[in-house]
Structure formats: structure tokens, C-alpha cells
Amino acid sequence: MHLCRELTELSLPKIGEEFGGRDHTTVIHACEKIQHDMGTDPTLEANVKEIVERLKKA
């Protein structure tokens, strides 16, 4: 969900819909959770940033 939010212009409800009909608040929670986790785990942050860069190049 975080990657969809970061790499697309899809709305929160649309992202939730694409993930099996989840509510937009679930998307918000998921994005906040990964942002928090990235802030406390440098390895996770580096991995997510690497994934984002690879997807942007594709």
C-alpha cells in the first residue's frame, strides 16, 4: 500500500479497493505504520528506498 501511495496517483479508496476492498483508513494506517517502521529500522528504510528506485527505473 505504501508503494502504491508513493508511486501512483491513486486515491486512498482506490488503493484499498485494489487490496481486496480495504477501507481507506486501512491504507492510511498501513502507510503510517511503514513510515514509522522505516524511521526506526535503517535496514527497512534502505530496502524500501531501493525498491522504489528500481520501480521508478522500470
The domain spans of the chain are: 2-57
Nearest Cα to Cα of residue 19 among 30, 7, 32, 34 = 30
Predicted confidence band of residue 33 (pLDDT cuts 50, 70, 90)? very high
pLDDT in tens, 36-53: 999 999 999 999 999 999
**Residue count of the chain:** 58
Nearest Cα to Cα of residue 31 among 55, 10, 54, 50 = 10
Q: What do you get for the CA distance between the two ends of the chain, in Å?
A: 19
User: CATH for 2-57?
Assistant: 1.10.1750.10
Predicted confidence band of residue 28 (pLDDT cuts 50, 70, 90)? very high
Predicted confidence band of residue 23 (pLDDT cuts 50, 70, 90)? very high
